[in-house]
Structure 1
Amino acid sequence: MVGSQNLLICTACGTQFDVPFSQPLKACRICDDPRQFVPAQGQTWTSLSHLRSTHTNTFTPFSTSSKLWSINTEPKVAIGQRCILIQTPSGNVLWDCITLLNDATVERIKSMGGLKAIVISHPHYYTTHLDWAEAFGCPVYLAKEDVGWCCREDRDRRRKLIEGTHGSLEEVVVEGVVVAKPGGHFPGSLVLCWERRLFIADTMVTAPSAYYHIDRPEGTTSYAFMWSIPNMIPLPPSELIKMWRVLETLDFESTHAAFVGTDIYDKDLKGRVLESMKIQARNEGYAEHEILKQKLPE
C-alpha cells in the first residue's frame, strides 16, 4: 500500500489530492466552499504515510445488529465521521468513507468478507475513496451531480456515478441495498436504506432532542436539514419538500448518522422526519408552504 501514501491530505476535511505532500497547495477547495470552513489556525496538510504512524481505526459493532460495524479513526482525523460496514448475504457494502486506510483495516475487512461496493453520501466524505476501492477491488458509488468535487483522477475507473435527477432511486450492485438521492446539503446528497434502516450521514442532521422520545412536548424536533452544518445555514422549505418526496418512499424505523452513537430507533421515525421539516419551515418564518400540508403515506 504505497502508491498514494505521500499524497496531500487536508487536515480539516480529510480530502486527498493528486498533489505530493512535499508540494502543498495554498488552499483546499473543499474547505474554501461556504459549506465547509478553514480552521482559525489556517490551512494545514498531512499524508497517509504520516497518519498510518500516528492513528488507528477502531471497529465497533452495533448493539442492535451483528451485521453492522462503525469504523472510525482514533485520535480524531479531520471531520471525525465514521464509515459503516454493512454485511449482507449478497456481499458487504461500505457506507461513507474515512481518510485513514492501513494494512490492519484492509486485513480486518477482508477477514469479514471484503467489500462488494462503497457508497459515499456527499463530497465532505470522499476522503481517500480511490485507495479504498483499489484495496478491495470494488466500485465506489457517488452522485453524478457532485462528482466535480473529486480531487483525484480516477485512472482505474473505480467510480460509478448514480445518475438521474434529484429524487431518483437506484439499486446498488448488492441486492437489498437501495440508495436514494434526497439532495439538499449537496445537490446529490445520498441516503442508503437496508432492512428498514436509513443511513443518513449529513443529509439529515440528528438533533440532540431526537434521542429521548417519550412524552415529547409539541414542537420538539428530531432532525435539522442544513445547507452548511458547521456554518449553521439551514435549507429553505423549497428544498425540504424535494427531500420529503424521496424520503416518504422509503421504509425505515431507524436512522444512522455520521458519527458513532448517532443512531435513533423508533417505529414512528418517518413521522418525526416530516414533523422536523415542518418545525424548521415554520421557524424560518413560513406560515404557508407545501411542506406544511404533507401527511404520512397511508
Structure 2
Amino acid sequence: MAAETLLICTACGTQFPNTDRNALKTCFICDDPRQYVPPSGQSFTTLAALQTSHKNDFHTTHSSPDNKAPALISITTSPKFAIGQRAILIPTPAGNILWDCLTLLDDATIARIRELGGLEGIVISHPHYCSTHVAWAAVFDCPVYLAAEDKAWLAQLSERQVFLDAVETMVLLSGPRLLIADTLMTTPAGLSNWAINALNEPRSRPPGTNSFSFMWSIPNMIPLPADEIVRMWSILKNYDFTSTHGAFMGQDIEHRDVKARVLESMQIQIRSMGYEGHPFLHTLW
C-alpha cells in the first residue's frame, strides 16, 4: 500500500498500515492514559490529504554561544497538525540526524532535506512522535532508532527500525546540546528573561523558580513519580550540556547553568509533590 493512502490519526499523527476507515475506528496511541481523544471524537486523514492542506517550515536554531557548533534546524508543520511537535535536524560529521519526526512528508520537504545533505538516521524519543517515520526512513533510505521497550507501541514495523536495548533515557546529546523532546518539559518560567526589570535594571532569577517539569502525561497533567525523577538525574548528571531543546518551537534554553537548573527543577517538583523528607532534596550540584 502506498504511504500516501494509509490512515493517519488526526489527534496524534500516527500512521497505520490500513486504508479502510470502517475497519480502523480507534487509535491505540490516543487510548493510552498518557494521550487523549479530542472532544470532537476520533478521526483519521491521509498523507495525500495533508499534502494539499499543510506545509513544513524550516527554522534555523542557533544554540552555540561561541558559534562553534553547527546550527540546528527545526522543522514544523503549518497549520498545526496533531500534537504540533517539531523535528530537529542535527548536522554531524557523519551526516544529518533527525531527532523525532513529523507526520507530513511531501516533495518540498524531501527536496529541502536532500539539499541539506539527506539523512543518515532518525531517532524517535517516544511513541507519540512516531508519526510517519516508516515513510521517512524509506524515502531517505536510513535507519530509525527507537527504544526496544517502545516496540509494542508501534503501529507499523519496518526492516529499517533499529531497537535499542541499552537506552538510559530517550534524550539525545549532541555536543553541548541536550535534545529533550518532552522528557523534561520546558516551562514558561524556564524561558523567562530574569536579567532585567521593567526599568532595565539588572536582577536575578527569583528563588524557587523552575525551568522544567517532569511528567508521565503532559496533556493529562500527571507527574512522574519522585523515584523516576531521581533515576533521570542519576543518568543526566554524568553528561555536560549548556543548552536544552524541547519538543516545540521556542523551547530552547541556552545558559551555562542549565544543567544546574535541571537539578533545581527536579528538587522543586519533588518537594511540591509532598516529599519534604526525600533524600534527593539534599543532592548538591
- The 1-side partners of 2:280 and 2:133 are apart by 36
Which structure carries more strand by proportion?
A: 1
After superposing the two structures, state which structure 1 stretch, 285-294 or 8-17, moved more: 285-294
- Give the C-alpha shift of residue 218 in structure 1: 1.1
User: The residue matched to 1:115 in structure 2 has which SS?
Assistant: coil
In the alignment, what sits opposite 1:95? 99
**Correspondent of 1:261 among 250, 254, 259:** 250
Contact persistence 1:191–1:201 (CA under 8 A): yes
- Superposition deviation, residue 21 in structure 1: 4.9
Corresponding residue of 1:125: 129
1:149: which partner in 2? Answer: 153
Structure 2 unaligned segments of length 5 or more: list them: 65-69, 196-203
Report what 2:270 is aligned to: 281
Match of 1:16 in 2: 15
How big is each residue's C-alpha offset from its partner over 1:73-116, in whole Å with a ceiling of 9 and x where there is no partner?
A: 01111000000011112110000001000111111101111000
1:60 is paired with a residue of what secondary structure?
A: strand
SS at match of 1:151: coil
Q: 5 Å matches for 1:241-260? A: 241-260=230-249
Unaligned 5+ segments in structure 1 are: 169-180, 183-189
Pair 1:107 & 2:140 matched: no
2:161 equivalent to 1:162: no
Q: Report what 1:233 is aligned to.
A: 222
Amino acid at match of 2:125: S
2:137 and 2:281 mapped to 1: Cα distance? Answer: 42
Matched, 1:73 2:53: no
* Corresponding residue SS for 1:130: helix
Check whether the contact 1:13–1:79 (CA below 8 A) recurs between aligned residues.
Answer: yes
Rate the CA distance shift 1:289–1:159 in 2: closer, same or farther, 3 A: same
Larger radius of gyration: 2
- Native 8 Å contact 1:120 1:142 kept in 2: yes
Corresponding position of 2:200: none
What amino acid sits opposite 1:272 in the alignment? R
- Residue 182 of structure 2 corresponds to 202
**What's the TM-score, normalizing by structure 2?**
0.92
Check whether the contact 1:85–1:95 (CA below 8 A) recurs between aligned residues. Answer: yes
* In structure 1, distance between residues paired with 2:121 and 2:249: 21
Alpha-carbon separation, structure 2, partners of 1:203 and 1:226: 7
Tell me which amino acid in the other structure corresponds to 1:199: L
Tell me, yes or no, if the aligned pair for 1:6 and 1:21 is still in contact at 8 Å: no
In the other structure, the counterpart of 2:38 is 39
From 134, 139, 142, the equivalent of 2:138 is 134
RMSD: 1.3
Which of 210, 213, 221 in structure 2 is aligned with 1:221?
210
1:54 equivalent in structure 2: 53
C-alpha change, 1:84 and 1:111, in structure 2 (3 Å) is: same
Against the structure 1 CA distance between its residues 283 and 104, is the aligned structure 2 distance closer, same or farther, given a 3 Å change threshold? same
**In structure 2, what is the Cα distance between the partners aligned to 1:240 and 1:84?**
25
Which secondary structure state, in structure 1, belongs to the residue aligned with residue 117 of structure 2? coil
The residue type equivalent to 2:10 in the other structure is: T
Alignment coverage as a number of residue pairs: 271
Other-structure match for 2:4: 5
TM-score by length of 1: 0.88
Equivalent residue number for residue 171 of structure 1:
none
Structure 1: which 4+ aligned runs deviate by more than 4 Å? none
Q: Distance in 2 between matches of 1:224 and 1:230?
A: 13
The 2-side partners of 1:53 and 1:280 are apart by: 43
Distance 2:149 2:137 in 1: 20
What percentage of residue pairs aligned between the two structures are identical?
Answer: 53
Give the deviation of 1:148 after TM superposition: 0.8
Does the CA-based 8 Å contact 2:63-2:243 persist in structure 1? no
